[in-house]
Amino acid sequence: RPNGKMREFSLGVAELDRRIGYFRHENAHGADVFIRPHDSTGVVLMDDVSREKLGDLKRAGVQPAAVVESSPGNFQAWVRVARRSVDPAVASAVARDLAETHGADKRGVAWNHYDRCPGFTNRKPTRMTERGAPFAKLHEAGDRVAARGPELIRQAEMRLSTPSPLPERENAGPLRATG
pLDDT in tens, 97-122: 999 999 888 887 778 888 899 999 99
In sequence order, the 6+-apart residues with CB closer than 8 A to the CB of 87 are 40, 157
Residues of the chain below pLDDT 50: 1, 175, 179
pTM of the model: 0.81
State residue 56 phi and psi, 5-degree precision.
-60, -40
State the Cα–Cα distance between residues 115 and 94, nearest whole angstrom: 17
- Which residue from 31, 27, 23 is spatially nearest to 4, judged by alpha carbons? 31
pLDDT value for 41: 81
pLDDT value for 175: 47
State the Cα–Cα distance between residues 32 and 26, nearest whole angstrom: 8
Q: Letter for the amino acid at 78?
A: W
pLDDT value for 109: 79
pLDDT value for 174: 54
Beta-carbon-side half-sphere exposure of residue 12 (alpha carbons within 13 Å):
1
Question: In sequence order, what DSSP letters do the residues of 55-122 get, joined into one string?
Answer: HHHHHTT---SEEEEEETTEEEEEEE--SS---HHHHHHHHHHHHHHHT--TTS-STT--EEPTTSB-
pLDDT value for 134: 93
